[in-house]
Amino acid sequence: MNTNAAKIIDALGGTAEAARLFEVRMPSVSAWRYHGIPKPRMMFLQVAKPEALEGVDVVAATALSNQQPAIKTEV
């Protein structure tokens, strides 16, 4: 779990409120709690809701990319 992203989502009022704010479905926001908040969404928060970011490591809360890591298989 990305605890920094989870703190931000909680500061926004929880998963449902964050989903309403970003006009996405709740499962998307739930995934952000684990993978981090997408960079464009984080940029929006820095302007629209800076109070939600106070005391949180914004870099650590930001998702690295839109791609999921590849699954390693052993041969």
Cβ pair 19, 28 in contact under 8 A: yes
Residue 73 in this model has a pLDDT that exceeds 80: no
Residue 72 in this model has a pLDDT that exceeds 90: no
pLDDT level of residue 64 (50, 70, 90 thresholds): confident
CATH class of 3-61: mainly alpha
Cβ pair 8, 32 in contact under 8 A: no
List, in order, residues 6 or more apart from 39 with CB less than 8 Å away: 62, 63
Structure tokens at 65: 């990319």
| Overall residue count recorded for the chain in this entry | 75
